Amino acid sequence: MPKTRTTFWRRKFEGNVARDAANTRELEALGWHVIIVWECELSDEASLQARLVSALEDNAR
């Protein structure tokens, strides 16, 4: 959390979390399988690939 404007950033973060959760629920209600990939996960390509393959295999069953 930034040391300045903490109220603003806390509200913004909480709003983003709530929005993402609502979007995930809506997509899943439509039959989608949601996989969230954070930017920091992109640097470990092998780990990300394994995670995505696993998620896709699980979804195919």
**Encoded amino acid at 6, one letter:** T
Confidence of residue 61 (pLDDT cuts 50, 70, 90): confident
Give the C-alpha distances (Å, rounded to integers) separating 53 from 42, 44, 49, 50, 60: 15, 14, 6, 5, 10
pLDDT tens readout for residues 18-56 = 999 999 999 999 999 999 999 999 999 999 999 999 999
Question: If you average pLDDT over every residue of the chain, what do you get?
Answer: 94
Contact 20, 27 (CB under 8 A): no
Residue 5, pLDDT > 90, answer: yes
Contact 52, 32 (CB under 8 A): no
The domain segmentation of the chain, as residue ranges, is 1-30, 35-61
Residue 23: burial class (beta carbons within 10 Å; 0-12, 13-18, 19+) = exposed
